[in-house]
Amino acid sequence: MSEVRTPPQCPGCGTRPLWKDTSTARAGTEDRWLWYCTTCLRKYRPTGDHKRTFT
């Protein structure tokens, strides 16, 4: 059974886990996504480790 990973918390407000925003991803660019905070409405680039873990 695979391990469930929890997204990181927002570095700006730290209130909730970030959401994976894939609205700009297209076929062949699945690794082009951003983290999105639903509280402060900011977007953040994922680290290389985040891309490997959450893509």
Each residue's pLDDT tens digit, 14-38: 889 999 999 887 788 777 899 999 9
What confidence score (pLDDT) does residue 28 get? 80
pTM equals 0.80
What residues contact 46, with CB distance under 8 A and at least 6 apart?
33, 34, 35, 54
Domain-by-domain residue ranges, the chain?
A: 19-54
Is 33 or 4 the better-scoring residue by pLDDT?
33
What confidence score (pLDDT) does residue 1 get? 57
Residue 41: enclosing H or E segment and its boundaries? Answer: none
C-alpha 31/C-alpha 51 separation (Å) is 7
Across the chain, mean pLDDT equals 89
What confidence score (pLDDT) does residue 29 get? 76
